[in-house]
A and B are shown apart, each in its own frame.
Chain A
Amino acid sequence: MEGATTDLPVLRPFRPVARGGPADLGFSRWLAEMPPIALLGFAFLACAWPIVAAAQGNFTTAQAFDALWRWMPFLVSKGFALNILISFFTMLTGTVAGVLLGLGQVSPLRPLAATCWFVTQLFRNSPWLVLLFIVMLAFPFEIEIAGTVYLIPDWTKAVFGLALPIMANISEIVRGGIQSVPTGQWEAAESLAFTRGQTLWQIILPQCFKRMIPPWMNWYAILTMATPLVSLLGVEELVTLSRQAMEAEDNHPELLMPFFGFALVIFFLYCYPIARWTLRLERRFAVRQ
């Protein structure tokens, strides 16, 4: 802005992304900047643990890893696959609901905007596990449609429980993205006789859509890392199945680090590239701005 000064509130520069806010990429940054040495250190722990534990028993490190090796295909195809499935459906549900809620927050209809704001704040600031428990317990485990009884699998209920906080955070990303477009854009469109809907879809959203993608991906990585929460509710995802597998292997303490270490590594391997990609997109969009 070539030296323009103005006291019009609409022309003040908009504030940058708040730390810890929904558009903050802190999680992706932390994950993407994880040094490889951290993984090595972790692998060392996983190997050293059975040696320490072996002092008490006759179960060896080799046996522990052998057990892990045998269970691995099952853990991945039945356990981790379910985590990913849950993350996909949660993200889908949360995104659709969150976009609607976010658009509601910027609606000119005051009561609608206030309601959407309230719902957003409510779910954004509630502990995820509490939301999960409420959804799991409040919803029936079967429904009857036209005389046929359908069982609702636990994991679909978990999807709805996790989708609530995701929805709320995406609602904030959408609201923040829309409000990051200077008011002058709305006024220019208005003075050209665009309707509010046309302005939103043809002028405002195309400008902020790209800016919303990195924080959206950041939330996907956070969500994926959080999916083991649903094991507390008995959903048979990776962590639940790992515990069952260890039980089947007589619960030797030596199994603990290899099995849970494997869970950590596989989550890391899945989310790390997403985090790197998120930061790369963020940089690219920042340059073009």
Chain B
Amino acid sequence: MPFCSTNCGNKAILKRPKTGDTLCKECFFEAFENEIHFTIERAKLFRPGATVAIAASGGKDSTVLAYVLKLLNEKYKYNLKLLLLSIDEGITGYRDDSLDTVKQNRDDYEMPLKILSYKDLYGWTMDEIVAEIGRKNNCTFCGVFRRQALDRGAHLLKVDYLATGHNADDIAETVLMNILRGDLARLSRCTAITTDSGDGIPRVKPLKYTFEKEIVMYAYFRKLIYFSTECVFAPNAYRGHARILLKDLEKIDPSIIMNIIQSGEDLKVNENAKIPTLTRCTRCNYVSSQDVCKACILLEGLNKGLPRLGIGKSSKVKRLLQENEEKETNRLVCNGKDNTCICKNSKVPIIK
């Protein structure tokens, strides 16, 4: 390794993929942290005095995010109340190790930790869902529920912000993926550093301009403990292709990642192009492209003993929902009070 680019006289420990400079350990720590501070300050990510939930999975990104946020909060006096938010899907064996890591984070960084289970959020554990629907389709459930779990959790805890550990590599990969599958709505949103999930709790990405390789190096040299197992959820085909392409591009020049993010930031969807508009789910009030969000459809299926509802095509879902609604209506009984009964003769309350 050559000497540190700052001319401090020390031997460098890494070559920065973002700029090609080489840094020693001490200079790397300060540069790494100051860059995240610069991002937070320049993008005005947090309001002083706010409560921030850090989405903690026990993985390297969220561990480094928690560590650095705590450090910057003290050094630069953000005056933030930080807490860790973890989701327990209730899959026997899967979360145990990573939750242990999160608990370690809690103790090491002296931050409150809130673990919310699927049971808390949805009334069902993943194991119970699997028992209900069999192994084959449980990915659909887990995926949909996981996407909403953090939002629901943040809402439940009444925090002001939800910070996630998405890094520069993740964002570049998402840009490429959205181009491959022609998802214009997400293409124009995926590079935003702050997004709104519809409940007034902004989701922020302080590590947006931080490279994955540097996150790993930072955790290694700071001796941070994290859970280093790959996500058990296989990426979809488009993300898979995007990931392979990005890895190949990085071999030629790692700073391509910053180019891709810049491209994403400079793009906008043509006014004439029709893109699906997002609305709120009429049942749970979360952002959705349909009247009823996928999580609510799946939940309804589970609660009504129709677990396959929502797994298939959306036309089929609509039909099943409709059939279900009809069944529901038929269960209304006249009792001469509040609502009009299906028989139009008398008023009924809705019996669930």
Q: Do A and B bind each other?
A: no
- Chain B residues close to A by CB (< 8 Å): none
**Footprint of B on A, CB under 8 Å?**
none
